[in-house]
């Protein structure tokens, strides 16, 4: 990322990676006839998503990815996500 050191850039979670993993979880849930509503992510990932969706946040809209409401959870590892 522009203006960041390599160490700072490495510490920023990959939103693309998160989306790839979340899509797999969603498809697996659909195969079990489940309809997930929430995407639980680590707080640092939540902050990265919030920064990317700052306009929606500014206008008070819920933060969503892949149709799921994004929720910060300290119980979720940085490189993973959960659906509920």
pTM over 0.85: no
- Give the domain extent around 56: 35-84
Does 47 map to a domain? yes
Residues 32, 59: contact at Cβ < 8 Å? no
pLDDT in tens, 5-40: 555 555 567 888 889 999 999 999 999 999 999 999
Cβ atoms of 79 and 17 closer than 8 Å: yes
The answer on pLDDT for 4 being more than 50 is no
Residue 20 maps to a domain: no
Number of structural domains found in the chain = 1
Return d(Cα 58, Cα 75) in angstroms, integer. Answer: 26
């Amino acid at each position: 990322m522009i203006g960041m050191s390599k160490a700072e850039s490495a510490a920023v979670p990959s939103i693309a990676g998160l989306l790839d993993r979340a899509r797999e979880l969603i498809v697996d849930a659909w195969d079990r006839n489940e309809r997930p509503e929430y995407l639980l992510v680590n707080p640092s990932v939540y902050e990265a998503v919030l920064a990317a969706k700052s306009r929606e946040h500014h206008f008070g809209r819920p933060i969503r990815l892949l149709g799921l409401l994004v929720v910060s959870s300290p119980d979720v590892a940085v490189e993973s996500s959960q659906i509920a």
